[in-house]
Amino acid sequence: MLDAGTGREPLVRVRDLKMHFPIHSGLLRRRTGAVKAVDGVTFDISQGETLGLVGESGCGKSTCGRAILRLYDITGGSVTIAGRDVAHAGPNELRRMRPTMQMVFQDPQASLNPRMTVARIIAEPLDEHTRLSRAEKTARVHDLMDRVGLNRAFANRYPHEFSGGQRQRIGIARALALNPRFIVCDEPIAALDVSIQAQVVNLLEELQDSLGLTYLFISHDLSMVRHIADRVAVMYLGKIAELSPRDDLYADPLHPYTRALLSAVPEPDPEAAAASSRTILTGDVPSPANPPKGCNFCTRCPSVMDICRRIDPDFREVAPGRHVACHLYDTTQDGRPTAAPIPTRQGETP
């Protein structure tokens, strides 16, 4: 079945994914609640596509990426990658799936073993999942270092001898070792200097074009996501607020939270910056251990209605390829909206 938004076959299918971390308290350490880090996330990622996942710090982006790869045992929902059920696979079956799906971590210094050389770090997946000879592994390591722009003469050096950008290239090479089809990039540029960020993103795009990779690109940098992503999912307090093609989302955001995020992006053109308006959100982000009743965003939304405080809106398609969870786009039985949509012209505020 082809994806309606891209016309391509989905490689990754996520349905109602939940990742709740239990809260224990008291002398007997009984479970008294749960932190709902990811609470009912649904999306597809097509073969060869990059889906950007954005949102504030603490909204559950990284947890979502790790749960998709089963680095956590998920609380509920389903995850299918290349037609194989990841969410409910046993340990042996999951191990056989690992070559298909890999991850590039946020902090390259923390994700690389300081006691291992670059060659051993990149070859570690080959040791675990293949039966290549030593010569074949060495050749594969050198080929991967060439692909990510590292001098193969540095293969016997240690991670502390490299810069942050070079360490991230080592992490990317390690992720590519087993020829994966799907890679979760968990804020891969957040710990890098601004001058290096574009180089790493360009490298990821080049590798995608040459190897046919599929990415889930997690970031809080909306400008960088606009550069690399085909579609963008906006996450708030464990849920997807809006999912749209990149150009549509940046030109005409539907959800009030998306509008607030985009209004905070610096505008380099002074005239455009003067003509635009900033949506200032009041209040603090609620705790994922005690989310508000109804819509998660109702405590800060500038367009809040009474229904928002009572009923959690459905995440549904309101235009071709555009999905949003907002009561502003509810319709009556005759197809008319129940409320006026939020303004879309530059300079207007909800």
Q: How many other C-beta atoms lie within 10 A of the C-beta of residue 28? A: 6
> Which domains are seen in the chain, by residue range?
10-257 (3.40.50.300)
Alpha-carbon span 119 to 103, nearest angstrom: 18
**CA 323 from centre of chain:** 16
Q: Would you say 327 and 10 are in contact if contact means Cβ atoms under 8 Å apart?
A: no
User: What pLDDT does residue 271 have?
Assistant: 67
CA distance to 236, 303, 307, per residue, from 255 (Å):
11, 10, 16
Q: Write out the H or E segment, with its range, that includes residue 240.
A: strand 239-245
Predicted pLDDT of residue 273? 58
The pLDDT of residue 1 is above 60? no
Residues 214 and 48: beta-carbon distance below 8 Å: yes
Asked if residue 232 lies in contact with residue 52, where contact means CB atoms within 8 angstroms, the answer is: yes
Residue from 207, 288, 248 nearest 21 by CA: 288
Averaged pLDDT of the chain: 88
Question: What tokens were used for 104?
Answer: 């590039």
> Mean per-residue pLDDT for 182-200?
90
pLDDT value of residue 345: 34
Both tokens of residue 307?
A: 């229904």
Distance between CA atoms of residues 157 and 164, nearest Å: 14
Report pLDDT for 349. 39
pLDDT higher than 50, residue 333:
no
- Which residues, at least 6 apart from 226, have a Cβ–Cβ distance to it below 8 Å? 232, 246, 250
Residue 216 scores a pLDDT above 80:
yes
Contacts of 45 (CB under 8 A, 6+ apart): 10, 11, 12, 51, 182, 214, 215, 216
Partners of 232 in beta bridges:
52, 244
In angstroms, what CA-CA distances link 247 with 24, 72, 232, 274? 44, 33, 9, 22
Residue 148 has pLDDT above 60, yes or no: yes
Instruction: Answer for the pair 44, 32: CB distance below 8 angstroms, yes or no.
Output: no
Q: Crossing angle of helices 118-129/164-176, nearest 10°?
A: 20
266-299 pLDDT, tens per residue? 776 676 656 667 777 887 888 899 999 999 999 9
Contact 94, 175 (CB under 8 A): no
Output the pTM of the full model: 0.88
Strands 10-25, 76-81: pairing kind:
antiparallel
Query: How large is the average pLDDT for residues 153-175?
Result: 94
Residues 17-29, mean pLDDT to the nearest whole number: 90
Do the Cβ atoms of 308 and 301 come closer than 8 Å?
A: yes
Check residue 223 and give its pLDDT: 87
Cα(181)–Cα(176) distance, rounded to whole angstroms? 9
Residue 81 confidence (pLDDT): 95
Going by pLDDT thresholds of 50, 70 and 90, the confidence category of residue 340 is very low
